[in-house]
Every structure is written in C-alpha cells, then in structure tokens.
Amino acid sequence: MPRALPEPIYRRFTAGVGTLTLRPFNLTVDVPTLHSWVTQPYAQYWGLLTATVDEVRAEYERIQRTGYHQALIGEQDGRPAFLMERYEPACDPVGDVYRPAPGDVGMHVLVAPPVQRVHGFTGAVFETVLDYLFSDPAIDRVVVEPDVRNTKIQDLNQRMGFRKHSIVTLPDKQAWLSFCTRDQYAEATRMNEAG
C-alpha cells in the first residue's frame, strides 16, 4: 500500500532510539495528532492548552500561508513523535528584538508524550533537528526563544550548544533569546559523545 503522507525529507538513525525522520506537516492527518499533544499540561509553553482541533488547524493553515514559516512532523520508525518548525527570523516578531544576520534560521521543537520512555530520545530529536538545519550550507546559526520559565528546554538547548544572549519581550512571552552556531553545535556534540 503506498504511503499517503509526504515522503521524509531528512532521516537519521540513532542506536537505541531508531530512525528519526522529518516530513512536511499534513493538515488533514497531523492536526488531530498535534492537538492531542499541545493540549496536555507538559506543552503549556506552546500556548495552545485550551485550543480546539479547529483552532490548531487554523494556526497551522496560517503558518503554511506565511511563506517564511514551515512545520514538519518528526517520526520515530514511521510513527509521529515530534513537531519541528523552522522560520526566517527577519520575518518573525523575534526579528524585532535583535538584528537577524544572513544564515540565521529560527526553530521550535515539541516532543510528543512518550508511548514508552526511551533513554536519550529527546536528545536524539534535537540532534536530528539541528543536523537537518545545518545540512543546509546556507544556515550558519540557529535562533531559539524559549519562554523564560521553561528551564527544561533551556537546559537542553545549552547541552546542544546554544548560548543565551538576552531576555527579550515577544508578543506572547518573555523569552531567552539564544543562538547556536554550526561550530558551537559541533563542539557540543563532541562533548556529549565524550560523556
């Protein structure tokens, strides 16, 4: 039976985790799945805790229309397991709080609630996302802006090589503007492998 969804655009294998892939977000198939993730307490910083399925659909229709913001579904061995968004900072509100440079790309990640816990899974997701972004030779630096209260994601960002720049005010939050260059990520990966 042929695959009804778009084929993956990126694939990465991690021992103990499996094959993680990225494919374009499909409004018809992925909105109900994403709704089940973003309305759980752990996803409070995503800002959609009380959203209906139709509101989630409207948000991702809006993202698709922008032309500068793209949503991708990450799968673990063919099963949806995370959401990744990439965007052009110069076209986003974050571009109003710092001066975007050529080669900057913005990124958001939301990991699905686990079916079963897999040691190292979230780290493997972040490495897949960053490997994908840095596989584009035009990308020099990844920009993130997590809510200042979200210390878990800040810790993970730091482990992946992000460096905090400043606390900024965005339309929906106070955020830690943070950056990760290709070299910072490569160094963090070496350190993580070394233990």
107-137 tens-digit pLDDT: 999 999 988 888 999 999 999 999 999 999 9
Name the β-bridge partners of 76. 20, 79
SS3 content of the chain, % helix, strand, coil (to 5): 40, 30, 30
The candidate with the shortest Cα–Cα distance to 157, out of 125, 132, 190, is 125
* Type of residue at 73: I
Residues 6+ apart with CB under 8 A from 84: 22, 71, 72, 73, 74, 107, 108, 109, 129, 132
pLDDT (0 to 100) of residue 168: 98
Q: How far apart are CA 37 and CA 40, in angstroms?
A: 6
For residue 161, being part of any structural domain is answered with no
For residue 187, being part of any structural domain is answered with no
CATH of the domain at 132: 3.40.630.30
Q: Is 3's pLDDT higher than 60?
A: no
For residue 167, being part of any structural domain is answered with no
* Type of residue at 57: R
Q: Provide the pLDDT confidence category of residue 6 given band limits of 50, 70 and 90.
A: confident
pTM, full prediction = 0.93
Per the structure block, which two tokens stand in for 132?
């994908």
pLDDT (0 to 100) of residue 117: 86
Q: What is the pLDDT of residues 58-100, one digit of tens each?
A: 999 999 999 999 999 999 999 999 999 999 999 999 999 999 9
* Cβ-based neighbour number of residue 78 at 10 Å: 12
Q: What is the pLDDT of residues 144-195, one digit of tens each?
A: 999 999 999 999 999 999 999 999 999 999 999 999 999 999 999 988 777 6
pLDDT (0 to 100) of residue 84: 98
pLDDT (0 to 100) of residue 195: 63
* Domain that includes residue 64, residue range: 10-138
**193's torsion region: left (phi>0), alpha (psi -120 to 50) or beta?**
alpha
Half-sphere exposure of 112 (CA within 13 A, CB side): 19
Q: Is 47's pLDDT higher than 90?
A: yes
pLDDT (0 to 100) of residue 136: 97
For residue 170, being part of any structural domain is answered with no
For residue 50, being part of any structural domain is answered with yes
The candidate with the shortest Cα–Cα distance to 131, out of 160, 111, 94, is 160
For residue 173, being part of any structural domain is answered with no
Q: How far is residue 101 from each of residues 41, 72, 75, 107, measured CA to CA in Å? A: 35, 24, 31, 15
Q: How many folded domains does the chain comprise? A: 1
For the chain, report the end-to-end CA distance as a whole number of angstroms: 43
Q: Provide the pLDDT confidence category of residue 2 given band limits of 50, 70 and 90.
A: very low
For residue 26, being part of any structural domain is answered with yes
For residues 25 and 190, the model is more confident at 25
pLDDT (0 to 100) of residue 116: 83
